[in-house]
Amino acid sequence: MSNQIVRVAVAAPLRKTLHYRLPERLLTQAQIGSRLRVPLGRRTVVGYLLGFVEDNTISLKEVAEVLDPAPLFGETLVPFFEWAADYYCHPVGEVIRTALPTGLGGAGRQPVILKERFFYLRPLAGRPRGAKQQALVNYLRQHSGATLRQLKDCFGGVYDSLKRLQQQGLVEESHRERQRDPFADLPPGIDVPVELSADQQVALTAIEEALDGGSFCPMLLHGVTGSGKTEVYLRAVQKVLQRGRRALVLVPEIALTPQLVGRFRARFTDRNTRLAVLHSGLSGGERYDSWRAVARGEIDIVIGARSAIFAPLENIGLIVIDEEHDGSYKQGEGFRYHARDLALLRSKMHRATVLLGSATPALTTFYRVQQGQTVYLPLAERILGRPLPEVQLVDLAGQRPEGVLAETLRQALQENFKRGEQSLLLLNRRGFAPFLLCADCGATIRCPNCEIALTYYQKQRLLRCNYCDFALPPPDLCPVCHGCDMPPEGAGTERLEEELATLLPHAVISRMDRDTTSRKGSHQQLIDGMSARRIDVLVGTQMVAKGHDFPGVTLVGVVNADNALNLPDFRAAERTFSLLAQVAGRAGRGKQPGRVLIQTYDPDHYVLKCVVRHDYRSFCAEELSLREMLGYPPFGHLVNCLLAGNDEQRVMVAAEVLARAWRDLAGGMPVEILGPAPCPLSRLRGKWRRQILLKSSSRPALRHLVNHFDGLRKEVRAGVSVFIDVDPMDML
């Protein structure tokens, strides 16, 4: 019997790791980072080998099987996974399962490994016969071998010549893995050399000094929209590669990866620079191939969305977080991690530089700058000295516009189209209208699974819930009073698109929201259409505000700026300022100056006044003073506890029990326990929801309560699920 004991994190809701005995037949196969099949109670589950330990327990169960011929992650990721699991109060096995690509997280069927034919020269081979054979031999010698596809692309029909070369003993054939490339069909783009501005050069010099320092260094690249942050990223990555280290680059949205990958492929055309893409929008096979290539040490640059923070990349010298303020970096379900915060931790573990880039940094990030905890790198001007767009508020108070657009914005759109310039409109609401309203009794048609009205989609003739996707055809009569007058109320992007078609009958109008970009490649088609100026007006939700560079856009319109300001969330002002500043930044990025029109009923609001002046610092000062008075981040820390279940009464009782237990445990500690209270969306996907908010200026006090969560949740009756969200970003 083998005495080798392994420490395993099982893919199950267990906070602790387990010890198993490794049988002799598996001694040479098991490595840290491998998946194992292990017994757990009466069943067998997948676990992840985290280390080898000493344990004198005699009755340890044995590992049943090693599932991977090579480890899926290295030893350096183990403390990273365990820290993340502890901080976010989540089982470490579930953390690792979340991190791994589809097919590797459990015992299910994993993607197929593709193979391709590979030809190479034999050592001390003879002389080829004929010009074509000679050309093939020269090519194989120059490239140290080539695949059949590469040879066909270069020489056309090669099969007969290759067969003869093999018969002569000059060429050998083997089969090797073929990696799926998600962007193989995309042109690499053109790398246009640019001269750095003075601010860019200062920032790059500071980054180089940090890289040479060889220690953890967080830096904020605070650049106004169009100031050339991406060029700084490219050159910083180039510098880290020259120092023999690797780079990880994160973007907030999957849809932003193609354009960034295009820029990186154009810049790093050297065949020795290897680049991989990792995000959940790839096919299972594409992500599987990329992950394994990174784990084998074959990749120098990893680009991806939130989940790429877990890439098994070793020797990291630089992590770039583009648009670091974006809420998409926070996972909203399951393992509720924040990729930006984990990037700071991972950089610290690797003694690396982390570069946070944004035109509107998160208040918590800017506060760390003020406290001297983060190096500040400002880019105060747009490249080539181009001016920021002029921003004008359109006061809707007292106006009764016939449609969605006020007359000022209608005229501006018509004039912009006549000049042959592009326009972009933001309306952060999908569908044709938010609801149907009975004119006789005031009833709306609500989702049977969620506490919200169904959104009306006119083109599809459907009422649909944008949370659970429940759908039904609109009724002819009101289900309450049987009245026959149920007009759509309010406006969404579909209605705005229809209104624009009437206003600009000869314009090409497109829409960018979740409904029009669900197919793979559809988002990129819209971006290509805007870049090629085939689209005159682009209408969309907040998608249109994120990181796009459309030089032809000279007019940006915001249809309703007040919706986001009035959400029941202490971050509403911060999110609104960021969204408006970002979408305003899409205007005037080319040679023509830009103009921004924002429709609002509250033009005196401090957020809108700061947006008009492009004044982040004044907004920051105002908002931080309010946060400090209320004890919200960055002056306090939050943990949100969400309870959900099918039985509303059972959820209410469970929430009361848990809140009372926490209050008893807190004693005289400096912790506020707010609630329990119904969530703003009190019923979602059939589940009744209550939340308890833990708030404190002391993180250790919060940690004390969270660390006792496992013991307290035993008081919660069956049928109620409990979720802990550390540092919550969304409490709806």
Any idea where the domains of the chain sit in the sequence? Answer: 5-99, 115-177, 198-383, 386-432+491-626, 637-726
Residue 156 makes CB contacts below 8 A (sequence gap 6+) with none
pLDDT score of 185: 66
CB 77 within 8 A of CB 38: no
- Return the higher-pLDDT residue of 139 and 658: 658
Q: Is the pLDDT of residue 546 over 60?
A: yes
pLDDT band, residue 279 (cuts 50/70/90)? confident
Q: Is the pLDDT of residue 190 over 80?
A: no
Q: Structure tokens of 324?
A: 């670091």
pLDDT band, residue 671 (cuts 50/70/90)? very high
**If phi over 0 gives left and psi between -120 and 50 gives alpha, with beta otherwise, what is residue 384?**
left
Residue 29: count of CB within 10 angstroms of its CB: 15
pLDDT score of 124: 59
CATH of 386-432+491-626, one of 3.50.50.60, 3.40.50.170, 3.40.50.300, 3.30.70.20: 3.40.50.300
User: For tokens 């500040």, what's the residue?
Assistant: 376
CATH class of the 5-99 domain in this structure? alpha beta
Q: What percent of the chain has pLDDT over 90?
A: 60
Domains 198-383 and 386-432+491-626 alike in fold: yes
What is the arithmetic mean of pLDDT over 578-585?
94
Q: Is the pLDDT of residue 107 over 60?
A: no
Residue 527: count of CB within 10 angstroms of its CB: 20
Q: Is the pLDDT of residue 194 over 70?
A: yes
What is the arithmetic mean of pLDDT over 496-505?
94
CB 567 within 8 A of CB 606: no
Q: Structure tokens of 667?
A: 């004693």
CATH of 198-383, one of 3.40.50.300, 2.30.130.10, 3.90.76.10, 1.10.10.10: 3.40.50.300
Q: Is the pLDDT of residue 18 over 90?
A: yes
Residue 375, SS3 per DSSP: strand
Domain 115-177 has CATH 1.10.10: yes
pLDDT score of 564: 85
Q: Directed axis angle between helix 339-350 and helix 77-87, to 10°?
A: 140
pLDDT one-digit tens code per residue, 389-424: 999 999 998 777 778 999 999 999 999 999 999 999
Q: Is the pLDDT of residue 691 over 60?
A: yes
Mean predicted lDDT score pLDDT of the chain: 89
What is the arithmetic mean of pLDDT over 684-704?
93
Q: Is the pLDDT of residue 1 over 70?
A: no
Q: Is the pLDDT of residue 108 over 60?
A: no
pLDDT score of 96: 95
CB 195 within 8 A of CB 345: no
Residue 560 makes CB contacts below 8 A (sequence gap 6+) with 427, 428, 429, 491, 599, 600
The DSSP secondary structure of 451-496, one letter per residue, reads SSBPEEETTTTEEE-TTT--EEPPPSS-TTT--S---EES--HHHH
pLDDT one-digit tens code per residue, 24-56: 899 889 999 999 999 998 899 999 999 998 877
Backbone angles phi, psi at 675, to 5 degrees: 105, -165
Buried b vs exposed e over 682-708: b needs ≥16 C-beta within 10 Å? bbbeebbbbbbbbbbeeeebbbbbbee
CATH class of the 637-726 domain in this structure? alpha beta
pLDDT score of 731: 80
Least confident window among 449-463, 517-531, 539-553: 517-531
pLDDT score of 103: 67
CB 305 within 8 A of CB 263: no
Q: Is the pLDDT of residue 567 over 80?
A: yes
